[in-house]
Amino acid sequence: MAKSSADDEELRRACEAAIEGTKQKIVMSIRVAKSRGIWGKSGRLGRNMAKPRVLALSVKSKGQETEAFLPVLKYSSGGVLEGFDNLRSQSVAPPQWTMRNIDDRNRLLLCILNICKDVLGCLPKVVGVDIVEMALWAKENTPSVTTQRNLQDGPVATTVPESGMKVTVEKELVSQVEEEDIEALLGTYVMGIGEAEAFSERLKRQLHALEAANVHAILESEPLVDEVLQGLEAATSCVDDMDDWLGMFNVKLRHMREDIESIESRNNKLEMQSVNNKSLIEELDKLLERLRVPSEYAACLTGGSFDEARMLQNVEACEWLTGALRGLQVPNLDPSYAKMRAVKDKRAELEKLKATFVRRASEFLRNYFASLVDFMIGDKSYFSQRGQLKRPDHADLRYKCRTYARLLQHLKSLDKSCLGPLRKAYCSSLNLLLRREAREFANELRASTKASRNPTVWLEASTGGSQSGNSADTSAVSDAYAKMLTIFIPLLVDESSFFAHFMCFEVPALAPPGGVANGSKSGSYDDDTNDDDLGIMDIDDNDSKAGKTSADLQSLNESLQDLLDGIQEDFYAVVDWAYKIDPLRCISMHGITERYLSGQKADAAGFVRLLLGALESKISMQFSRFVDEACHQIERNERNVRQMGVLSYIPRFATLATRMEQYIQGQSRDLVDQAYTKFVSVMFATLEKLAQTDPKYADIFLLENYAAFQNSLYDLANVVPPLAKFYHQASEAYEQACTRHISMIIYYQFERLFQFARKIEDLMFTISAEEIPFQLGLSKMDLRKMLKSSLSGVDKSITAMYKKLQKNLTSEVLLPSLWDKCKKEFLDKYDSFAQLVAKIYPTETIPSVSEMRDLLASM
C-alpha cells in the first residue's frame, strides 16, 4: 500500500493544534483536494484539482461517552491549519472534497463505515463505490482495521458506549448470509471465483507433473499444444464471463439490500408514527378532560344556592375547581402544555369561575353570620332577665356555622385573601352577642347579690376599733365575681378555639378548652358542645406547617381582640361593684383571677389570657387605691395623732391584717404583702416624723407606739412572715427608745456621780491611773464630796427616778418592765463606777453593788 498522509504524525499534530480548546482528540487526519472532477477508471483524479484541504476525524469525551466529528481544515496564509466555514450561498454548487488516491479514499471510507456500523448497527447506504472491490482492497492492504469508538447520544451526534473493537473489513462489507446466497447462486455454474484459482493451481501442478514425467515431447506436438491453448483460452473466457456475471450479481444484490433497508426504514417510521399518534391522541384526550368544565359544577359555581341542602354539591364543586386549577399548573401539567393557547384560555376561564364563586360565597357568609346573631339578639330568652340568670348557650350557633366549615376551608384554598373580611364580619357579629350577654349577666348578677356594705377606709378614726367584730359577711361578692368568670372565661376560650378552627387559622390545637372553675378543676364551658371537630382538618393536612404558625397566631390574636373587644368593661363593672361593697374582697377576686390565669396557655386563647391579666391589674389597682386611701388617713390626721402617735391606728391595722389573712385562699401573697409593707412603712415614718417635733418626749412617744405595735401584732407575726419582719423591726426600735429614755432618767438623778466617772474614763486615755487622784477636781476629797452629795439620800433619788419614769408614761402596763430595765441599767452603770473607784482610789470606800441591789429590791 502506498504511503498515505493519514500516517503523517506532523499533520496529526497540526490538526490537534487547529482544534485546540474544543477538547476533541484526532483519530485520523488526511489531506484532500477541492475539485469538481471525478475519478477515472485509472484511479487518477480528473480536472480542476486545487486548494488542498485536510479532513480530520475527531472524538470528544463527554462523561463515559464521546462524540465523533469530521471537520474540514484549510491552510492559512501562514501555512497553519485552521477551521473552514462551509459554503453559505445556495446559488453556488457545493465543492467536492477529493482524495489524492484510491488508497486514501478507501482508508477513510473504511474507518467511517466501521464507526457507522458500531453506531447504527448496520452499514450506511454508499453510492458509487464497489463494496467487493473495497473488500478485496482491504484484504490486500489492511487485513484488520482497529478503530476506537468513543461516541455519546446527543441531540446531533449519534452515540455508542466507549470501547475498543477490532473489525474484519471483508466480513463487515459482505455478511455471511450474503456470501452463502452468492455461493448458492454461483453453484449453478461449472466453477466459481475460488474454483478458477484452484483450476489455475491445478494446471500449474499438472504442468510441473508433466515436466517431471518428461512428456515434453508430447507437448511439442503442435496439435496437442493447440488443443491445450484453446482449452486455456476457453477457460480464460469463461473466467472473464463469470467475473462479469459476478459483478452484475453484486450490483443487483446491493440494490436489493438497499431496497430492503429502505422498506424496513419506512416500515419502522410508519410504526413509530402510529405509536406516536396513538400516544398523542391519549394525551390530547387527557388534556381535553382537564379542560372540560362539568355543567353541574359550572351551575353551582356561577349561580347555585348556598342552602344547607346544597352544601354537598357546593363543596364538590369547590374540590373540583381547586383540583382543576392545580392541574393546569406546573409541575402538575407538562411545561410544554402550559404555553398552549387553549390551556391559557381555560385557566383564565377557571380564574373567572373562582372569582365569581368566592365573591358569591363571601357575600352569603357575611349576611348569614349577621342574620344568625341578629336573630339571637332579638330573642330575649337568650339573655339574663330580672330574677333569672341565663347561662349563654352558643350550641345552636356553632352547629349552624359548622355547616359551612368545609366551604370556608375550600375558600381558603381558592383565595386566602377572602378570609380577612369574613373573619372581621364574624368577629363583629359575635362581639355584639357576647357583649350583650356579658352586660345582661353582669347587671342581673349585681342585682341578685345581697351583701352589706363594709367601710372603704378601715383605718379612719370614725370607724372605731371594734369594726372587725361587726363586719358583715361579703363573701357573696367574691362568689358573684367567681361565677362571672366561671360562666364566661370557658365560654370565651371555647369561642376562641372554635373561631380559630372555623376560620381556618393554622395554629396548634388548644389544650382541653375551658378555664379553672374556682381553682379546683378544668373543664369546658359546655360539655355537651365540647366537640369542636369541624370536619375540615382532612382537606389539606399539609397546610399546617410549623413555619406558618407564628404568623397565623399573631393574626388570630388580632382577630380575637376584635371578637372580645369591649367585653372586659362588664368584668370591670363587677370588680368596681365588689370594691364599693368591700374593698378587701379585692384579695379574694385577685386570687380567683390568678388561678384562672395560671390555667390559660399562650395559644389560640391568648386574648383570653390578656383579658384575665387586665382584670388582675384592675383588681390590683383598686386594692392599691384602698391602701393608698388608708395611708392618706394616717398622713392627714398627723396633727390629731401628734400626742399619741399612731396608737389609735395600730389595733385597726391588726384587725385589718387579720381580715386580709382570712381572704387569702391558697393564692400568692404579693398583693397583701405589698399592702402590709406600705401600711407599716407609713406608720413607722409617721412615728419618726412626729418624734422629731418634740425631742424631749420623743423616746417615750416611740417606745409606747412600738410597744403597742408589738402587742397588737404578736399573734399575726407568728404566722405571717412579712409581719414578723416588721415585728422584729418594731422590737429593735422599742429597745433603742427604752435605752435612751432610761439613760436620760438615770443621768438626771445621778448626774454628778456619773460625770465624775466620765472624767476619770477620759483621763485614763492620756495619763496613768496613779496620777488621776492628783488632778484638779478628781482628788480623794473631791470624791468624798461627790459621794456625799449623790449617795447620802440615795433612796430618795431612786424614788424620784421611779416617779419621773412613771410621770410621762400614758400606759401603766409598760411601767413594770421599764422600771426593771431602769434598775438593771443603773446597777450596770454603778458597777462600772465602783470598779473605777477601786482602781483609782483603792483606799476609799463606797457603798457596794450588792448594797445597791438590795436597796433597789426593797423599794
- The pLDDT tens digits of the residues spanning 434-461 come to 888 899 999 999 888 887 776 555 555 4
Q: How many domains does the chain have?
A: 5
Q: What end-to-end distance do the CA atoms of the chain give, in Å?
A: 160
Is 7 a residue whose pLDDT tops 80?
A: no
Q: What is the mean pLDDT of the chain?
A: 76
State whether 379 and 230 are in the same domain: no
Q: Residue 461: its pLDDT value, please? A: 47
Distance CA 439, CA 416 (A): 35
Q: Residue 464: its pLDDT value, please? A: 43
Write the CA distances from 191 to 25, 197, 198, 233, 239, integer angstroms: 49, 10, 10, 16, 9
Q: Residue 853: its pLDDT value, please? A: 85
42 occurs within a structural domain: no
Q: Please give the residue range of the domain that contains residue 74.
A: 1-33+51-86
591 occurs within a structural domain: yes
Which DSSP symbol is given to 522? E
State whether 618 and 659 are in the same domain: no
Choose one of 632, 666, 697: the last residue of a domain. 632
Q: Helix 341-378 vs helix 222-291: angle between axes, to the nearest 10 degrees?
A: 20
Distance CA 585, CA 335 (A): 73
State whether 480 and 586 are in the same domain: yes
Spell out the alpha helix ranges (H) of 694-814. Answer: 698-717, 721-749, 751-763, 780-791, 794-807
The region of weakest confidence among 189-203, 266-280, 394-408 is: 189-203
State whether 249 and 370 are in the same domain: no
State whether 720 and 772 are in the same domain: yes
Residues 6+ apart with CB under 8 A from 769: 839, 840
The region of weakest confidence among 128-142, 739-753, 833-847 is: 128-142
Q: Residue 809: its pLDDT value, please? A: 79
Average pLDDT over residues 223-230: 79
CA-only gyration radius of the chain, Å: 62
Q: Residue 460: its pLDDT value, please? A: 55
Residue 677 buriedness (CB in 10 A; 0-12 / 13-18 / 19+): middle
Return the SS3 of 72: strand
Joined grid coordinates for residue 321: 375547581
Write the CA distances from 831 to 356, 431, 669, 752, 838, integer angstroms: 109, 85, 50, 16, 11
Is 704 a residue whose pLDDT tops 90?
A: no
Given pLDDT bands bounded at 50, 70 and 90, which one contains residue 258? very high
Q: Cα-flanking dihedrals φ and ψ of residue 221, to 5°?
A: -70, 130
Q: Residue 268: its pLDDT value, please? A: 93
783 occurs within a structural domain: yes
The region of weakest confidence among 128-132, 780-784, 819-823 is: 128-132
C-alpha torsion 349→355→360→362, nearest 10: 160
Query: pLDDT digits over 507-524, tens only?
Result: 765 544 444 434 433 344
Element (H, E) at 41: none
Which of 23 and 472 is assigned the larger pLDDT? 23
State whether 773 and 791 are in the same domain: yes
Q: Please check whether residue 55 is in contact with residue 100, taking contact to mean a CB–CB distance below 8 angstroms.
A: no
Distance CA 629, CA 678 (A): 11
Q: Residue 814: its pLDDT value, please? A: 82
Q: Residue 509: its pLDDT value, please? A: 56
Q: Please check whether residue 416 is in contact with residue 354, taking contact to mean a CB–CB distance below 8 angstroms.
A: no
Q: Please check whether residue 597 is in contact with residue 550, taking contact to mean a CB–CB distance below 8 angstroms.
A: no
Choose one of 587, 607, 632: the last residue of a domain. 632
State whether 332 and 414 are in the same domain: yes
Is 267 a residue whose pLDDT tops 90?
A: yes
Query: pLDDT digits over 333-375, tens only?
Result: 777 777 788 778 888 888 888 888 888 888 988 898 889 888 8
58 occurs within a structural domain: yes
C-alpha torsion 727→729→735→736, nearest 10: -160
State whether 588 and 691 are in the same domain: no
832 occurs within a structural domain: yes
The region of weakest confidence among 43-57, 554-568, 770-784 is: 43-57
Q: Cα-flanking dihedrals φ and ψ of residue 312, to 5°?
A: -60, -45
Query: pLDDT digits over 291-336, tens only?
Result: 677 778 778 788 877 887 778 888 888 888 887 777 777 777 777 7
672 occurs within a structural domain: yes
Q: Cα-flanking dihedrals φ and ψ of residue 317, to 5°?
A: -65, -40
Write the CA distances from 257 to 124, 180, 253, 602, integer angstroms: 11, 15, 6, 86
State whether 331 and 442 are in the same domain: yes
State whether 439 and 372 are in the same domain: yes
Write the CA distances from 658 to 469, 654, 789, integer angstroms: 11, 6, 56
Which of 627 and 101 is assigned the larger pLDDT? 627
Distance CA 656, CA 662 (A): 10
| Residue carrying the nine cell digits 463494496 | 131
Q: Please check whether residue 722 is in contact with residue 680, taking contact to mean a CB–CB distance below 8 angstroms.
A: no
Q: Residue 357: its pLDDT value, please? A: 85
Q: Residue 264: its pLDDT value, please? A: 92
Distance CA 62, CA 856 (A): 123
201 occurs within a structural domain: no
Reference 164, options 183, 139, 144, 147; nearest CA is: 147
Element (H, E) at 60: strand 50-62
State whether 705 and 846 are in the same domain: yes
State whether 563 and 613 are in the same domain: yes
Tell me whether strands 96-99 and 65-69 are parallel, antiparallel or unpaired. Answer: unpaired
Write the CA distances from 127 to 42, 70, 122, 462, 746, integer angstroms: 19, 19, 16, 134, 149
Which of 202 and 524 is assigned the larger pLDDT? 202
Q: Residue 86: its pLDDT value, please? A: 53
600 occurs within a structural domain: yes
| Residue carrying the nine cell digits 473607784 | 837
Tell me whether strands 145-149 and 163-167 are parallel, antiparallel or unpaired. Answer: antiparallel
Element (H, E) at 253: helix 222-291
**CA diameter of the chain:** 206
